[in-house]
Amino acid sequence: MKDLFTEIWESVRRNKLRTCLTGFAVSWGIFMLIVLLGAGNGLMNSFMSGGRGFAANSVLVGGGWTSKPYDGLKAGRRIRLDDTDVAITGGDLFTDHVDQVSASVYTNATVSYGKMYFSGRIDGEYPASQEMNKIEIRYGRFLNDKDITDSRKVIVIPENTAEKLLEGGQGVESLLGKYVKVGSLAFRVVGISKSDRMSNSNYIYAPFTTVKTVYGKGKEVGEICFTTKGLDTEAANDAFEKQYKSVINLNHRAAPDDERAIWVWNRAHQNVQMTQGRKILSTALWIIGLFTLLGGIVGVSNIMLITVKERTHEFGIRKAIGASPWGITKLIISESVSITAFFGYIGMFLGMLTCALLDKTLGQSTMTVMDEQIAMLVDPGVGLDVAIEATLVLIIAGTLAGFFPARKAASVRPIEALRAE
Amino acid sequence: MLIELKNVNKTYNNGQPLHVLKGINLGIESGEFVSIMGASGSGKSTLLNILGILDNYDTGEYYIDGRLIKGLSEKQAADYRNRMIGFIFQSFNLIGFKTAVENVELPLFYQGVSRHKRHEMAMQFLDRLGLADWAGHYPNEMSGGQKQRVAIARALITQPKIILADEPTGALDSKTSEEVMQLLGQLNREDGVTIIVVTHESGVANCTDKIVHIKDGIIGQIEDNREHRASVFGTSTIMK
């Protein structure tokens, strides 16, 4: 092995400039590949963090209208979810795939504090909802189990709502522990949640039990939310949804295959699409990177052909004193692989350095979209897997680049080679 | 019989077929010091290439030490060349970017001998040829005679059955030529190495014990030259 490297070094040393110029093309190819993939990852991470409002494996269920007559009842009937559905969801039937269950019920009310007031939707939630809906608490706490069991009159207000309840809109944390009026009842503020103008982050949260009792919702439930487990494929998710719908439909005397009796929003699907999108982007970037690298590989192959031509006489001597064709082939291919790998690693190193630089610059700058700060790139860079893949690519590319020149070198007959100069 | 050629024929087919060797029959015993002499175009170089397994022949048989050399694969041919034959060329054919000792080591490298061992052996052979001090020098830092001695060391290092020398003095002045021929003679006498020298110079041929004349692809006279009186230009010099 050491002998082989000595031979390669001897050959490269004689053609430093030529080797470096060729190597630059390889470095450039790998550099582009790494930077493209790194920036692509940063972009995808940024998209992903945009969808951080929900746990990836959560399912939201709500009531709908039947679309088929069933069991003597006609189509177009309103289905309202209730406590029995919550019990079924959390019951033995779905214990394999359902993890945490939470239900919500909502009402509209006016919240007032002193002279200020605000009208909005008040969600009766369970503590588990925090994780499922990724509710971030700025000050205080979210609802807890005690709030539920005691039906406490407590409330969690989003920041932007809290600002509307304060004159001047400053110092929202001062509301903590204060009582605000919800309709005609006083609720104590236990938490302030983070908000933006998107999606569900501007709801006011109160304990599920409190909202139900106070606002006379009876057995009725607004939405059921639960997290799933053990559903790894899209097919498994589809099968589970089908089964779930048929069970809940039957609970309301609707046709088991009625698609509209209840609506089910499984965020896993969204997640799968995200993952697919990521795959497509990274494949596209790989292709662009590999084509850039191709230029470098052709250069290496070219240089190896010239090397073989120049060294024909030397190979003749080697053959005369006992080098086998494989001995010559090995020499050329390993030289080609060494050049490719060495300059490839320089490119890879510089590429990773650039990714780190991107993280320090673009990664820190943000755009404001709908009141939310979105970083343009989140954690750009490539993982160890890409580094290993790129290494494999380099070795394969180097072998390919050296293959034809090596075959040419090995096939020259020793007397012809000795005659050459 | 170390080398035996039976009715060997060789034709080159480059455009017009050229029948170079027309039924060569030749036997060389182990320990002989032979020269093959002929004018250019006589077929002597072709014969040397066949003897050295660098080229193949069309018909006939060639045996080294009783082993038929015919239709070998490249790999096998390389192995035979490595173990049985040592080459000395007119233009030395040393590898320019390797030092003297590295050049001498090379045949052992292809035998898979360890780094340390082959270096040690190469130094031994260089020492024998009086070049121990030059071991670390590159060929272009040496005189012609020194280069040829390095080449001789390289040919000897595998302890081959045959040394094939193709115009070994062709690129040397007369004084150095004489030294090289004396060295070959000495190796033959003291170590019993079989040496075959191909030359067109009668003075060089005169240094050997047996002269095989080749003309137009046919072996002519085979002279016993143990008295070294064959040279028409006198016995003691190599005429340039």
Q: Does A325 touch chain B (CB under 8 A)?
A: yes
CB-CB under 8 Å, A314 with B95: yes
Render pLDDT for A167-200 as a digit per residue (tens, 0 to 9): 777 778 888 888 988 888 899 999 988 876 555 5
Which among A320, A323, A325 has CB closest to B54? Answer: A320
pLDDT at A161: 81
CA atoms within 13 A on the CB side of B226: 3
pLDDT at A83: 85
pLDDT at B61: 94
Nearest CA-CA distance, residue A333 and chain B, Å: 18
Dist CA A273 CA B229 (whole Å): 97
Sign of CA dihedral A286, A291, A292, A293: positive
Dist CA B113 CA B56 (whole Å): 29
pLDDT at A75: 86
pLDDT band at A99 (very low <50, low <70, confident <90, very high): confident
DSSP A135: P
Nearest CA in chain A to B107: A321
Distances from the Cα of B239 to the Cα of B226, B232, B233, angstroms: 19, 10, 7
pLDDT at A221: 86
pLDDT at A201: 58
Nearest CA-CA distance, residue A299 and chain B, Å: 25
CB-CB under 8 Å, A321 with B74: no
Which among B55, B96, B154 has CB closest to A415? Answer: B55
Nearest CA-CA distance, residue A337 and chain B, Å: 22
Dist CA B94 CA B97 (whole Å): 9
CB-CB under 8 Å, A3 with B78: no
Judge whether residue A34 has pLDDT over 80. yes
Q: Three-state SS for A280?
A: helix
pLDDT at B232: 56
Judge whether residue A109 has pLDDT over 80. yes
| Residue with the two structure tokens 């580094």 | A387
DSSP A136: P
Domains along the sequence of chain B with CATH: 31-53+75-224 (3.40.50.300)
Dist CA A319 CA B75 (whole Å): 10
Which among B78, B97, B110 has CB closest to A14? Answer: B97
Which among B87, B96, B110 has CB closest to A327? Answer: B110
* B55: chain A residues, CB-CB within 8 Å: 413, 415
A401 backbone φψ class: left, alpha, beta (φ>0; ψ -120 to 50): alpha
Chain B positions with Cβ closer than 8 Å to A:
49, 52, 54-55, 74-75, 78-79, 81-83, 87, 89, 93-98, 106-107, 109-111, 115, 154, 158
pLDDT tens, per residue, chain B with 240 residues: 899 999 999 999 888 889 999 999 999 999 999 999 988 888 888 999 999 999 999 999 999 999 999 989 989 999 999 999 999 998 999 999 999 999 999 999 999 899 999 999 999 999 998 999 999 999 999 999 999 999 999 999 999 989 999 999 888 888 889 889 999 999 999 888 999 999 988 888 888 999 999 999 999 888 888 877 765 554 455 555
Nearest CA-CA distance, residue B235 and chain A, Å: 33
CB-CB under 8 Å, B110 with A321: yes
Token pair of A205, please?
């949260």
Which among A3, A14, A321 has CB closest to B87? Answer: A321
Q: Does A324 touch chain B (CB under 8 A)?
A: yes
Nearest CA-CA distance, residue B53 and chain A, Å: 9
By the 10 Å C-beta count (0-12 exposed, 13-18 middle, 19+ buried), A61 is classed as buried
pLDDT at A325: 92
pLDDT at B233: 52
Dist CA A270 CA A267 (whole Å): 5
List the single best residue of A321, A324, A329 to mutate versus B (max B Cβ within 10 A).
A321
Please report the residues numbered 4 through 33 in chain A whose beta carbons come closer than 8 angstroms to any beta carbon of chain B.
Answer: 10-11, 14
CB-CB under 8 Å, B75 with A318: no
Judge whether residue A371 has pLDDT over 70. no
CB-CB under 8 Å, B89 with A325: no
* A325: chain B residues, CB-CB within 8 Å: 74-75, 78
* B87: chain A residues, CB-CB within 8 Å: 320-321
pLDDT band at A369 (very low <50, low <70, confident <90, very high): low
Nearest CA-CA distance, residue A303 and chain B, Å: 19
Query: In the A/B pair of chains, how many CB contacts fall below 8 A?
Result: 62
Dist CA A38 CA A360 (whole Å): 13
pLDDT at A126: 87
Judge whether residue A103 has pLDDT over 90. no
Nearest CA-CA distance, residue A340 and chain B, Å: 23
CB-CB under 8 Å, B106 with A318: yes
Q: Does A314 touch chain B (CB under 8 A)?
A: yes
Dist CA B63 CA B70 (whole Å): 9
Neighbours of A384 (CB within 10 A): 7
Nearest CA in chain B to A314: B95
pLDDT at A293: 86
Render pLDDT for A199-236 as a digit per residue (tens, 0 to 9): 555 788 899 888 888 887 778 888 888 888 888 788 88
Dist CA A186 CA A154 (whole Å): 9
* B109: chain A residues, CB-CB within 8 Å: 3
Distances from the Cα of B226 to the Cα of B33, B204, B237, angstroms: 10, 14, 16
Dist CA B18 CA B235 (whole Å): 37
Render pLDDT for A271-282 as a digit per residue (tens, 0 to 9): 777 778 888 888
Dist CA B21 CA B219 (whole Å): 9
Nearest CA in chain B to A4: B109
pLDDT at A163: 82
Mean pLDDT score of chain A, rounded to an integer? Answer: 85
CB-CB under 8 Å, B106 with A321: yes
* B49: chain A residues, CB-CB within 8 Å: 415
CB-CB under 8 Å, A317 with B93: yes
Mean pLDDT across the stretch A142-150? 88
Residue of A293, A265, A249 whose CA lies nearest to A60? A265
What does R_g of chain A's alpha carbons equal in angstroms?
33
Q: Which amino acid is at A21?
A: L
CB-CB under 8 Å, B74 with A325: yes
Dist CA B186 CA B168 (whole Å): 15
